[in-house]
Structure 1
Amino acid sequence: MSVYDYKVKTSSGLTAKLERYKGKVLVLVNTATKCGFTPQLEDLQKLQDKYGDQGLQILGFPSNQFDGQEPLADGEITEFCSLNHGVNFPLFKKIDVRGETADPLYQYLTDEQPFKGFDMNHPTAKLMVSIIESKHPEYLYGNGIKWNFTKFLVDREGHVTARFEPTSEPFDMETSIQELLKQETAIAE
């Protein structure tokens, strides 16, 4: 099984197979436009710009499961992210990413890469954890998505290789991205 076995909906409602990204290094991230982590969109786009020609593809999956921080409709999300954060990587239809209603793709991602904790050195980690503890303590249990901007790194064969929590900045993934890009390039030659 790999991410290529899943289908998702585009922001316009069309079905898209993830196998269309076969051969690329992927970053799948659950996004929200009204979150304290929303500025991560800019660094995600910088990674896309820097490594896109080498085979990196960022894929955004908006979700409104975390304190209503994604109130916009699908088309509005794409427009907001483009105008305010320069995003040109694909943003798909808004989905649930945790719990019983989680999209099958996100069930797969969290099964493949369990939760290993937050980077408590991140400037907003303590605030985020205190919000989760007070409003949604159930989020802290299990491997489900804890908050917006959880990032999954996927190799060119569709295998989930790493999970980066919201308290990991996009550029914290750069070394792992470079390794996957080089490793796969060396194998392909």
Structure 2
Amino acid sequence: MLNFLNKSTAQNSPTKSIYDIQINSLEGNPIDLSDYKGKNILFVNVASKCGFTGQYADLQKLYDDYQDKLMIIGVPCNQFGGQEPGTADEIQTFCEKNYGVSFLMTEKVDVKGNNQHPLYKWLTDKSLNGNSSSSVKWNFQKYLVNENGELVDYYFSMTNPTSAKITKHLNQ
């Protein structure tokens, strides 16, 4: 949505690398984020019963178009209106059946609050990511990390995944 980052300001060094954060896949297997060094990563907190759920189709299109330089990681979360109540199997089936999702999906986590997952602590805290602080407002908020593991920007739910606000960083 709005770009709150001043691109002319030098980015502070993050205190922890995104690549050191542990998170599991939807199937329960550890994901090694360092496997995606050299690629951009778009993290999106997702939900199956949200008004923005249709963005799964656009996320898949973005992934299909840019998978040589982009990994999309969907992060199921049930903190906004209880809109992701499903089990891991139900989420997987829903995403594959309805949207043909082939990008990476993680375990269901909290993206805010006392039980906030370390991934979202890093994405939302300038002292950790070296760029900006934010709060996750709703499902389908997006965080773009560049090929060097640096937070580029974040985008609110109404920003379509295929928006030029996001793709301009992938076309550089």
Instruction: Specify the TM-score bucket, using the shorter chain as the normaliser.
Output: 0.7 to 0.9
Structure-2 separation of matches of 1:107 and 1:179: 23
Match of 2:83, as an amino acid?
Answer: Q
Preserved contact between residue 37 and residue 148 of structure 2 (Cα < 8 Å): yes
The residue that corresponds to 1:177 in the other structure is 167
Residues 66 and 170 in structure 2, CA contact (< 8 A), matched pair in contact too: no
- Listed one character per residue, the Cα deviations across residues 35-83 of structure 1 (whole Å, up to 9, x for unaligned) are 0000011001000001113x11110000001111001101211110111
Mapped contact 1:61–1:91 kept (Cα < 8 A): yes
Aligned pair 1:23/2:23, yes or no? no
1:56 aligns with 2:70: yes
Contact 1:2 1:157 in 2 (8 A): no
Higher RCO (Cα < 8 Å, 6 or more apart): 2
Query: Mapping of 1:60-99 within 5 angstroms?
Result: 60-99=74-113
Q: Where does the alignment leave 5 or more consecutive residues of structure 1 unmatched?
A: 115-142, 183-189
C-alpha displacement at 1:175, in angstroms?
Answer: 4.9
- 1:181, distance to aligned residue in structure 2 (A): 4.8
TM-aligned CA deviation for residue 85 of structure 1: 1.1
- With the length of structure 2 as denominator, give the TM-score of the two structures: 0.83
Residue 142 (structure 2) aligns with? 151
Higher fraction of helix: 1
SS of alignment partner, residue 42 of structure 2? strand
Structure label with greater radius of gyration: 1
Kept after mapping to 2: 8 A contact 1:74/1:94 = yes
Q: Do the aligned residues in 2 keep the contact of 1:45 with 1:87 (CA within 8 Å)?
A: yes
Counterpart for residue 161 of structure 1: 152
Structure 2 residue 22 is matched with structure 1 residue 7: yes
Deviation at 1:109, TM superposition (A): 0.2
How big is the shift at 1:180? 4.2
Equivalent pairs counted in the alignment come to: 152
Q: Where has structure 1 moved over 6 Å in runs of 4 or more?
A: none
Q: Percent of pairs identical after alignment?
A: 43
Give the aligned residue type for 1:163: Y
Distance 1:88 1:109 in 2: 23
CA-based RMSD: 1.4
Structure 2 residue ranges without an equivalent (≥5) = 1-15, 127-131
TM-score, with length taken from structure 1 = 0.76
